């Protein structure tokens, strides 16, 4: 146990030590996002308080949370640093709460808490240890409330309430010395002192210097916007942006990312460097000189990978097609760049589930082999990866010949793309019913031929049914309308036969 | 033993704000005086960006809600009176010499808190989020006034909380001895609703006349 110079009694020494520990616990519990026990479930709280007063540290498990009759849940941040200052109670405990910019690494001091033991000039005039304990009990009630009234608690609450990774975060630093504040810090900080706790040979003082206003906080010269969210006017999809930019990279086959909702507002930042805003949705993005700056709606960017997002990207090679797949899809990550992943057609032994939920958002994959289509929501925290398909030999029914739609500059105009799509829809063969029966895209190289067989078979079947009907009617003795339906059906059948033959003509 | 008195700064509230404001202040005071073992509960205010602390004792929460309901029903019966007071008192129970037609115990108050509220009638019949149909030139002004009022009230409530912290930190000597193994509430208390015509001074006079005397140290 740490000792003081004027040899407080062992009981008082223990109380002083626990005062330091409790102070650290209360402060860090409400200033350390994501590691605070506040995120723990209530089930972890012991059901009923045990006897109060005494020495909770002697209880099984060594829990000190009930010291000073204030039962707190465990705080990992406090436990990690509990031994730092135990070397001597004479050294002050200095806890600095910092606002950290994870991108630039700069820090801004929000609060500085100082707990310091001072010896008395005239020993023996102080209180007994019991009175010290009671004084500490009263002080910690106030301290517990005070940490929640200061402006930094609002930041803590915001960061804890949202599960997103932000560019700004709260951090803390624990020291045994007090760095003098700069002039600017002195000017903008307010100070509070709680009534000292008297001990027989000294007293313990709690004080805090805090930034009184955090609304317009800024770190260095990069940040100038407040913590509240702000609108980004030039988001992709906005009427003010170039629409061609948006459709420039439609994938082959017209498999547009349906997850993109036109007109939807997104608040992510497009520019990582330069002015960073403090919007909770601002996210670091990878810069790619080959790609236009496209905002990314995700809360997580994977290192070393291409920027993720639900938006199509401009590609150098027009033959590449982009598909969006769920990160949780059972596809090998190593081969994601070169491996063809088409919904409905999978490498052998791999089955694609019909429905994959990502963070609560369901993405459904159609069962049909020929449609590389993804529908559903893929924004708002879902991890979606952009893949490149190198397989240009894929027989997509909606695949188009790029040469037809390119102009001299090699760019595809919007009208050309739409026209191509319409053309494909008009000439597309019928979809085969039943995925298990389909043999893959390489089968049925001549869609027209398969179509004629189908029509002919249907025609024959129709004739057989008509013959059966005639026989039934003749048996029943009915003579009305027999010639007419036969003639009409025959004419229809002959017409359909003629149409099919005309189609089959080269 | 002294009876320490704390008069909190007056709060200007609308009718629908009374409950939340009283919850905040009453729970904060009781949390500071529940010196037995407690498991604090953080409560985020519904009306303000403010977090206060409850001592986590269900009986306390229930009693506070009942008293607030009683207060609201009382003030609704007197719409013309604007100033109201809620008094939170801590006492000790002491035995006194038995006498004819008198109780054997008496309450000795050692601390009193007076919460002062001024009720405004700007939107007595309107709900907090009620909107009007159609454009009203005065609507913008009223919404701006509402925001100003809400901001001012939040500031005042914060000042009240800081005032409570300051008071409990400065005055400790009058606190009675904490019973050993106390859990939760360590001192008995009572919440009384003062009529607007009766001030705190009048209440003290009434107490002296009825025999609930406090002894001075």
Contacts of A4 (CB under 8 A, 6+ apart): A13, A16, A88, A89, A90, A117, A119, A201, A202
CB contacts of A38 in chain B (<8 Å) are 42
Least confident of A490-499, B71-80, B112-121, B135-144: A490-499
Instruction: Considering only residues B194 and A49, tell me which one the structure prediction assigns the higher pLDDT.
Output: B194
Query: Which is it for strands B189-194 and B11-14: parallel, antiparallel or unpaired?
Result: unpaired
Say yes or no for a CB contact (<8 Å) between A139 and B169: yes
Query: Does residue A419 sit in helix, strand or coil?
Result: helix
Question: Given CB atoms, is B181 within the 8 Å cutoff of chain A?
Answer: yes
Looking at the complex, report in whole angstroms how far the Cα of residue B136 sits from the nearest Cα belonging to chain A. Answer: 27
pLDDT of residue A205: 94
For residue B169, the chain A residue with the least C-alpha distance is A195
Nearest Cα neighbor of A202 from A101, A86, A117 is A117
- Given pLDDT bands bounded at 50, 70 and 90, which one contains residue B87? very high
pLDDT of residue A115: 95
CA gap B24, B13 in Å, rounded: 13
pLDDT of residue A362: 38
> Does residue A151 register a pLDDT over 80?
yes
Least confident of A413-422, B86-95, B108-117, B176-185: B176-185
- Given pLDDT bands bounded at 50, 70 and 90, which one contains residue A453? low
pLDDT of residue B190: 93
Least confident of A28-37, A181-190, B12-21: A28-37
Query: Does residue A88 sit in helix, strand or coil?
Result: coil
CA gap A296, A306 in Å, rounded: 11
pLDDT digits (tens, 9 = 90+) for A100-130: 988 888 889 999 999 999 887 766 566 677 7
Question: Given CB atoms, is B173 within the 8 Å cutoff of chain A?
Answer: no
CB contacts of A53 in chain B (<8 Å) are 180-181
Query: Quick one: three-class SS letters along A278-345?
Result: CCCCCCCCCCCCCCCCCCCCCCCCCCCCCCCCCCCCCCCCCCCEEEEEECCCCCCCCCCCCCCCECCE
Residue B77 DSSP symbol? H
What percent of chain A lies above the pLDDT cut of 70?
39
Mean pLDDT of A285-295: 42
Predicted TM-score (pTM) of this structure:
0.56
- Given pLDDT bands bounded at 50, 70 and 90, which one contains residue A393? very low
pLDDT of residue A62: 40
Angle at A501 between CA A500 and CA A504, to 5 degrees: 90
Mean pLDDT of A158-170: 76
Question: Given CB atoms, is B183 within the 8 Å cutoff of chain A?
Answer: yes
Least confident of A104-113, B18-27, B54-63, B180-189: B180-189
Say yes or no for a CB contact (<8 Å) between B32 and A69: no
Residue B177 DSSP symbol? P
> Does residue A495 register a pLDDT over 90?
no
Angle at A500 between CA A469 and CA A423, to 5 degrees: 130
CA gap B41, B184 in Å, rounded: 12
CA gap A28, A30 in Å, rounded: 5
Instruction: Considering only residues A233 and A187, tell me which one the structure prediction assigns the higher pLDDT.
Output: A187
> Does residue A161 register a pLDDT over 50?
yes
pLDDT digits (tens, 9 = 90+) for B92-129: 888 766 666 666 778 889 999 999 999 987 554 444 55
For residue B37, the chain A residue with the least C-alpha distance is A69
- Count CA atoms within 13 Å of residue A110 on its CB side: 30
Query: Which is it for strands A374-376 and B51-54: parallel, antiparallel or unpaired?
Result: unpaired
CB contacts of B36 in chain A (<8 Å) are 52, 69
Query: Does residue B201 sit in helix, strand or coil?
Result: helix
Q: Are A52 and B36 in contact (CB under 8 A)?
A: yes
Contacts of B118 (CB under 8 A, 6+ apart): B10, B11, B12, B13, B82, B83, B84
For residue A48, the chain B residue with the least C-alpha distance is B39
Q: Are A138 and B168 in contact (CB under 8 A)?
A: yes
Question: Given CB atoms, is B182 within the 8 Å cutoff of chain A?
Answer: yes
What percent of chain B lies above the pLDDT cut of 70?
75
Say yes or no for a CB contact (<8 Å) between A52 and B182: yes
CB contacts of B182 in chain A (<8 Å) are 52, 69
Q: What is the ipTM of this complex?
A: 0.84
Least confident of A366-370, A390-394, B133-137: A366-370
Mean pLDDT of A472-478: 79
- Given pLDDT bands bounded at 50, 70 and 90, which one contains residue B31? very high
Q: Which residue from B51, B169, B183 is facing A49, i.e. has the nearest CB?
A: B183
Query: Quick one: three-class SS letters along A142-193?
Result: HHHHHHHHCCHHHHHHHHHHCCCCCCEEEEEEEECCCCCCCHHHHHHEEEEE
Mean pLDDT of A482-504: 51
Q: Which residue from A70, A142, A154 is facing B169, i.e. has the nearest CB?
A: A142
> Does residue A308 register a pLDDT over 80?
no
């Amino acid at each position: 146990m740490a000792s003081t110079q004027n040899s407080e009694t062992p009981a008082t020494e223990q109380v002083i030590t626990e005062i330091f520990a409790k102070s650290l616990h209360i402060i860090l519990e409400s200033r350390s996002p994501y590691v605070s026990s506040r995120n723990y479930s209530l089930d972890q709280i012991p059901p009923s308080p045990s006897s109060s007063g005494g020495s909770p540290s002697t209880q099984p498990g060594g829990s000190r949370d009930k010291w000073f009759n204030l039962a707190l849940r465990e705080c990992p941040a406090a436990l990690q640093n509990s031994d730092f200052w135990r070397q001597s109670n004479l050294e002050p405990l200095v806890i600095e709460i910092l606002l950290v910019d994870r991108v630039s690494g700069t820090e801004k001091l929000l609060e500085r808490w100082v707990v310091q033991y001072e010896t008395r000039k005239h020993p023996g005039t102080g209180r007994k240890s019991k009175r010290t304990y009671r004084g500490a009990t009263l002080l910690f009630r106030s301290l517990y409330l005070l940490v929640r009234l200061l402006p930094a608690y609002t930041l803590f609450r915001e960061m804890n309430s949202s599960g997103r990774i932000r560019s700004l975060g709260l951090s803390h630093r624990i020291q045994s010395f007090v760095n003098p504040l700069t002039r600017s810090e002195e000017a903008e900080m307010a100070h509070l002192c709680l009534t000292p706790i008297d001990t027989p040979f000294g007293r313990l003082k709690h004080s805090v210097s805090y930034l009184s206003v955090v609304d317009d906080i800024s770190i260095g010269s990069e940040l100038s916007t407040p913590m509240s969210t702000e609108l980004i006017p030039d988001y992709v999809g906005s009427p003010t942006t170039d629409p061609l930019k948006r459709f420039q990279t439609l994938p082959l086959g017209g498999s547009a990312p349906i997850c993109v909702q036109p007109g939807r507002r997104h608040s992510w930042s497009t520019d990582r460097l330069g002015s960073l805003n403090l919007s909770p949705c601002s996210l670091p993005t990878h810069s790619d000189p080959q790609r236009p700056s496209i905002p990314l709606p995700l809360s997580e960017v994977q290192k070393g990978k291409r920027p993720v997002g639900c938006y199509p990207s401009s590609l150098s090679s027009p033959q590449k097609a982009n598909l969006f797949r769920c990160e949780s899809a059972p596809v090998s990550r190593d081969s994601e760049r070169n491996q063809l992943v088409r919904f409905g057609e999978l490498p052998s032994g791999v089955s694609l589930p019909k429905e994959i939920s990502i963070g609560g958002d369901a993405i459904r994959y159609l069962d049909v082999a020929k449609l590389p289509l993804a529908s559903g929501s893929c924004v708002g925290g879902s991890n979606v990866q952009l893949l490149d398909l190198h397989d240009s030999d894929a027989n997509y029914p909606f695949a188009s010949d790029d040469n037809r739609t390119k102009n001299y500059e090699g760019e595809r105009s919007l009208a050309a793309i739409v026209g191509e799509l319409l053309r494909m829809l008009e000439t597309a063969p019928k979809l085969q019913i039943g995925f298990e029966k389909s043999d893959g895209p390489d089968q049925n190289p001549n869609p027209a031929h398969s179509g004629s067989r189908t029509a002919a078979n249907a025609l024959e079947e129709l004739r057989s049914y008509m013959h059966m009907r005639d026989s039934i009617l003749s048996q029943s003795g009915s003579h009305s309308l027999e010639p007419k339906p036969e003639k009409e059906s025959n004419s229809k059948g002959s017409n359909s036969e003629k149409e099919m033959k005309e189609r089959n003509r080269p | 033993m002294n009876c320490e008195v704390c008069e909190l700064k007056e709060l200007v509230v609308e009718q629908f704000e009374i409950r939340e404001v009283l919850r905040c202040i009453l729970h904060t005071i009781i949390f500071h005086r529940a010196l037995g073992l407690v498991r604090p509960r953080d409560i985020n205010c519904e009306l303000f960006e403010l977090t206060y602390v409850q001592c986590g004792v269900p009986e306390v929460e229930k009693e506070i809600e009942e008293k607030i309901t009683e207060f609201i029903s009382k003030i609704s019966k007197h719409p013309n009176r604007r100033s109201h007071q809620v008094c939170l008192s801590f006492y000790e129970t002491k035995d006194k010499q038995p006498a004819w037609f008198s109780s054997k115990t008496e309450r000795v108050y050692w601390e009193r808190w007076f919460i002062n509220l001024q009720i405004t009638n700007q939107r007595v019949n309107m709900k907090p989020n009620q909107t009007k149909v159609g454009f009203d030139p005065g609507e913008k002004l009223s919404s701006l006034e509402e925001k100003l009022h809400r901001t001012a009230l939040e500031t005042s409530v914060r000042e009240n909380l800081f005032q409570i912290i300051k008071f409990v930190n400065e005055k400790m000597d009058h606190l009675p001895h904490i019973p050993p193994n106390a859990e939760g509430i360590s001192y008995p208390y009572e919440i009384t609703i003062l009529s607007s015509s009766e001030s705190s001074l009048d209440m003290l006079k009434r107490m002296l006349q009825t025999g609930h005397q406090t002894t001075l140290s």
